[in-house]
Structure 1
Amino acid sequence: MLPSPESLLQLLQRFIKSSTQIKQIHSVLITSGNLSIPNPSSFRWTTTLFYNTLIRAYLNINLPHTTLLLFTHMLSHNIPPNAHTFPSIAKAAACNITPSFIDKPLYSQALKRGVLADPFVQTSFICLYAESGNVCCARKVFDEMPEPCVVSYNAMLDGFCKDGDMGSAVLFFESMPVKDVYSWTSIVNGYVKKECYDSAFRSFKRMIMQRVSGGCAVKPNEATFVSVLSACANSNRVTGLSYGKQIHGYIVKNEDRISAFVGTALINMYGKTDGLEYATKVFGSMVNKQVCTWNAMISTLASNGKEKQALEMFNKMKVEGQVPNDVTFVAVLAACARAELVKPGLQVFNSMLPRFSIVPKMEHYGCVVDLLGRAGFLAEAEEFMRRMPFEPDASVLGALLGACKLHGAVDMGSEVAKRLYRLEPQQCGQYILLSSIYAGVDNWEHATSLRNVMVDAGFQKPPAYSTVNAL
């Protein structure tokens, strides 16, 4: 005997975040006919409710493609979607690789069903248009809202920031009647993406100063700290370290604990601003360490000349029961390459698939080519590259070309450079590297010839610069 529609709905709502149970209940709903047009028509809303709950459930378990397929099945069976259907569908569409192909057809469906007056539906379409890069359409939807709430304002603000239009974002931000932590975080993150790090610092400072002075009492959250620490990590080392220490002090003073993601951002910031000692202290003080935290510490050690310690940290990570991911292996292999630890590096690479079920990607192969090349095993590096399961990209070829320059391998360098020309004909890096290889073996005729080719083609070498830091 099949369960009743009411009990199936209760089960669906109870296990709405459980992948296995959702699929099982979905199967029962199909076999029992509860996802087809019901009879009598007075129970039509029940089928819509089943679809809405399933759509939300598959979105919860991170299967947006299935969510969109359910919506198409819903339409093909003439089951009417309602205002509760479209927010989940719009969110699923935003997760799609090409949301711009879906946003307008979905909007047309919402218009056809007469649900666009619902503020939740309108806000969901602002988010969808913003994700697809269609800020003009997002603004039109926003302007049609009679009384937009702070969530709608934030969705529109996020659209401007994602589009890189910080001028419009700031004007819109200043016009907002209410600003919450998501508003401030969007502005900070928008400046970080545009590499306007000083503006990101100023926005963060303004946010916390208003809180201190009793103005807009908005407390930074985890995402705010991660964004502003990213600005510190990517700005000038001296400035970044100075601001980073101040933000770290603020976190210690105002937060009960340092979360895994904030701690990871602190480690990454200190690692990129010559603050290895501080990064080590942060890592040691953290109670909750995620895989990303270990990855950040391994990368920090490797980039600060502590490659062997990075390898030891990787081993310690495994001892403590943390399962490394593909990012971990990039960090460890890069550390081995820098220190020319060929045997340990190859052991790490060869353990990825059999021991951790991680299929090596282009980045991992590139690290191994760099590892072998730096250590002088150029023939082995070339053979390893030849045995790759896919064609090497510019980063892999660039690693081998760099090794050719390091060891003065003119013939191999010429062949690798030719392959790079075909991949990236407009990049000047390979010309400069190959010219340096020729110059290194006093082959000035070829070096000069390459430089002339660059001039004739209109390539310009990016200018170098130096900084002087007052101690």
Structure 2
Amino acid sequence: MNSEYLLQRLQRFIERPNQIKQIHSLLITTALLFNTASKWNPTLLYNTLIRAYLNIIPHCSLTLFTFMLHHQAPPNGHTFTSLFKAASTSQSLASLSCSPLHAQALKRGILTDSFVQTSLLGLCAKLGSLSNVRKVFEEILNPCIVACNVMLDAFGRNGDMGSALFFFDRLSEKDVVSWTSVINGFVRSKQFAKAIWKSKGGFTKGGRYMGIFSETRAFMTVFMGTALIDFYGKRGHLEFAFRVFNQMLDREVCTWNAMISSFACNGREKEALDLFEKMKVDGMYPNEVTFVAVLTACACTKRVQLGSQFFQSMRCQYGIVPIMEHYGCMVDLLGRAGLLTQATEFVNTMPFQPDASVLGALIGACKIHGAIELGNEMGRRLLELQPRHCGLYVALSTINADKERWDRAADLRKAMVEAGIRKVPAYSFIDSV
């Protein structure tokens, strides 16, 4: 058995996790991966392995890179293209890997490669720093449509729709991803009318989204379908969202995330959890966004044991480091279930300081279950983070009033008035697709 044979099998089974792991084991046990004297360049073997793991266990791609450097197999442009994509699969991987990978690519003079530049651009966009995305984009001499679309999406994700439209209008070439990025940007910023207006300009001169989808299914991309699912989900039209999902020819993890989130946020928690299981059966690898949706579904249905299992599996099974949103979901889950002591202990043992969303979830649980002392304690901590948040004063005042702690309730209302903080009036809004 030689490197050529194993390489051919690796390339053949690049989408099949079990075979990839078996071939990887053979490469290690036969020492072919470490044989720098072999006629087969170890760089090619490492690159193929890194690319293979990219779609199933992205963090393993990054681990392989450290072994590649240790065994002095020189990385090339293909190596870094895959590595940047692997690091882009989750916020935690992006945060930990961006700077070291960027430095390695710069050190080896590979950043002039257009594919490497575009992959780095996508990684910077994942981190959410618009200034860094701009800087990388400006260093690309002749940006391709893919790079332009990443730049366009970065504008939308940062809410800079003015720059997004300015950039979009000056593109010499536009594809369906370009249009979808603009529409997604408007949807994220809740400018639904503009999203619909732009979609009509991009896909057809009239008709509604389902009509557009039916007419364009043959060339419906993952980006377009996912945008439609997200759009319908945010408006509560789950039957349309699920119809788009079922009719899509290709789906990526973002597509599954959009549908799971749509179910979870619209009171269809069982469907969300069922779809998550189907996602895993279909061989799709969940990421950070997936687990936010799944934990949200568990919180709404008070499934403490299941939610805890999912939270533990993030790091143990999938190599995903939980971020603030995941901790917030767990606090919400424990709080809704009335497990306030566990929720408090969970907050106090977090590896970083809880933000307003985590403390707010615990305060909400205190209000539901009448835990006045704990509510006031968490309220004091939250007021240090958001001293002018009117909703917090109202919530704390209500908690105390419900327990007939009238003096404390009055003090909070007085403090709110003296600080010049006014309650934001609520309103309802009804519209149709």
TM-score normalized with structure 1 length:
0.65
Pair 1:429-2:391 in alignment: yes
Q: Is contact 1:100-1:129 (8 Å) kept?
A: no
Q: Give the C-alpha shift of residue 112 in structure 1.
A: 3.6
Match of 2:236 among 271, 278, 281: 271
5+ residue gaps, structure 1? 214-244, 273-278, 303-309, 337-344, 372-380, 405-411
Question: Are residues 158 and 391 of structure 1, via their aligned partners in 2, closer, same or farther at CA, if it must alter by over 3 Å?
Answer: same
Aligned length: 382
Q: Give the C-alpha shift of residue 430 in structure 1.
A: 4.1
- State the distance in 2 between where 1:183 and 1:160 align: 12
Question: Are residues 60 and 250 of structure 1, via their aligned partners in 2, closer, same or farther at CA, if it must alter by over 3 Å?
Answer: closer
Q: Give the C-alpha shift of residue 56 in structure 1.
A: 0.5
Q: Is contact 1:401-1:433 (8 Å) kept?
A: no
- State the distance in 2 between where 1:46 and 1:369 align: 56
- State the distance in 2 between where 1:141 and 1:443 align: 57
The one-letter amino acid of 1:176's match is L
Pair 1:157-2:190 in alignment: no
Question: Are residues 251 and 329 of structure 1, via their aligned partners in 2, closer, same or farther at CA, if it must alter by over 3 Å?
Answer: same
Please name the residue that 2:19 is paired with. 21
Please name the residue that 1:39 is paired with. 37
Pair 1:60-2:58 in alignment: no
Q: Give the C-alpha shift of residue 252 in structure 1.
A: 4.4
Please name the residue that 2:104 is paired with. 109
- State the distance in 1 between where 2:398 and 2:85 align: 51
Please name the residue that 1:385 is paired with. 340
- State the distance in 2 between where 1:455 and 1:249 align: 52
Q: Give the C-alpha shift of residue 83 in structure 1.
A: 2.0
Question: Are residues 332 and 81 of structure 1, via their aligned partners in 2, closer, same or farther at CA, if it must alter by over 3 Å?
Answer: closer
For CA contacts below 8 A with separation 6 or more, give which structure has more relative contact order: 2
Q: Deviations over 1:97-138 (max 9, x none)?
A: 163554344334334434333321222222223223444444
Please name the residue that 1:7 is paired with. 5
Q: Deviations over 1:262-285 (max 9, x none)?
A: 88557635537xxxxxx5688699
Q: Is contact 1:65-1:92 (8 Å) kept?
A: yes
Pair 1:247-2:209 in alignment: yes
Question: Are residues 29 and 359 of structure 1, via their aligned partners in 2, closer, same or farther at CA, if it must alter by over 3 Å?
Answer: closer
Please name the residue that 2:137 is paired with. 142
Q: Is contact 1:191-1:197 (8 Å) kept?
A: yes
The one-letter amino acid of 1:123's match is T
Q: Give the C-alpha shift of residue 57 in structure 1.
A: 0.9
Pair 1:450-2:412 in alignment: yes
Q: Is contact 1:115-1:121 (8 Å) kept?
A: yes
User: RMSD value over aligned CA atoms?
Assistant: 4.5
- State the distance in 1 between where 2:14 and 2:194 align: 42
- State the distance in 2 between where 1:108 and 1:18 align: 32
- State the distance in 2 between where 1:396 and 1:202 align: 37
- State the distance in 1 between where 2:191 and 2:240 align: 29
Counterpart mapping for 1:40-439 below 5 A: 43=39, 46-61=41-56, 63-95=57-89, 97=92, 99=94, 102-209=97-204, 212=205, 246-252=208-214, 255=217, 265=230, 268=233, 271=236, 296=262, 300=266, 302=267, 327=293, 330-331=296-297, 334=300, 349=303, 352=306, 358=310, 363=329, 366=332, 369-370=335-336, 381=338, 384-387=339-342, 390-391=345-346, 393-403=358-368, 412-425=370-383, 426=386, 427-436=389-398
Q: Give the C-alpha shift of residue 52 in structure 1.
A: 0.6
- Secondary structure of 2:41's aligned partner: helix
- Secondary structure of 2:19's aligned partner: helix
TM-score normalized with structure 2 length:
0.70
- State the distance in 1 between where 2:153 and 2:243 align: 35
Question: Are residues 163 and 288 of structure 1, via their aligned partners in 2, closer, same or farther at CA, if it must alter by over 3 Å?
Answer: closer
